[in-house]
Structure 1
Amino acid sequence: MNQPKIDEDYLTKGSFFDIYNEEDYFLSNYLIKDELVEKQMISHPMIEQTLFQHVTFSECDFDKSDLTDIIFKNCDLSNCHFTDSSLFRVKFQNCKMLGTDFNGSYFNNIQFDNCILDLANLNQLNCKGVNFTNSSLKDVSFNDNKLSKVIFDNCDLNEMIVMNTKLKGIDWSNCRFETIEVDQNYLRGLKLNREQAAFFAQNFLGVKL
């Protein structure tokens, strides 16, 4: 997993709203802290080598975002829209992302560390190197995805919906769920612990235990 390429010593302190200073909505090498960003609608914003700390994005729509070498730390991106976006070397750390919409996006070297992603829309993704660590993905919609080198480590997957997504090579053995909805045609190669395997056997194969 490649980390975002950011040198904090060379970042310029500024505001997210500086993005409007550029005709093409561009930010680079910024440190943005303790800011409230409300009801902003920008199509195809381009942001690179930027650190966001304690920033709240409220009711924002950033479709077709191009994000490269970004860290979001202790941020709130709940109910924001990043549909059809491209994310490369982006880290979300201790972020609240309730209902955040990433439908149709491309993820390459992305980390979700200790994040709350409950009710998020993660559909039609192309994922290449994505880590979900110590995070909550309850009631997440995770459908029609292409997965390569995707890791779930100590996550809550309760009531997650996973359809039309091949799970070969995915390991859920140290994750938690009481119930989960999965397309049984794509279960081959999914790694589970004994309790989880019993759940799938009972619910998808009709095995009585």
Structure 2
Amino acid sequence: MPRFTSPFDGAQLFYRDYQPNKTEYRCIAPDRRGFGNSDWNGPEPGMEQIDYNVFAQDTAHLLEKLDIGPFIFVAASMGPGETLLAYERSEFVRSNCMGFFWVGPALPFPLATPENPTAPSRELWDSMLEGFPLDLTDRLQKLGTNADVPIMCVHGDQDLGCPYEASSKVIKEIIPRTNVKSVTTSQALTHTIALAKRLTNVQMGLWVRLKRYSQSIS
């Protein structure tokens, strides 16, 4: 089973590397530290606590290590924040990321505040996100201003953890070019199929973008 060593603390982190199938796309699926087959911490404790930034550092390091070339991020829940920070911190990621596909993103800030009253309450998140109270609004604004990378958000209308009104809708307001798709309760039984179709459409758009990219450097 492939693993890589985190530069943060030496933790051994697991990932799967699915080779291209009939769609001709390679898929790299890492287990975030503390999840699946990945360690939570390593033998060399970092000077800072493990947080979103460390997750992003791990992700960027894996992509740089594999040197995969142009790719698209597919992430859900807390994952979109991780991909956003990885994009911000790594020149390699910025140069090769062709798009973001976010499912039920916990962005820009997964906590109810006067500015974001529709998000879940602090009591709900305290037990789940201790150490992760990171407002990514500024990062989203920067992404919207400084890059033209495509973004797509798919969100269920019954997502109580991070409702559409507090996340995907807000992302669209911050970055108008974001393509937002809402999945209703009546679509729940076919959610996987619908999601797969939308991801396939994104892949086709990615293929066109990659082709243009290849032509521009040839």
More strand by share: 1
TM-score normalised by L of structure 1: 0.31
Higher relative contact order (CA 8 A, sep 6+): 2
More helix by share: 2
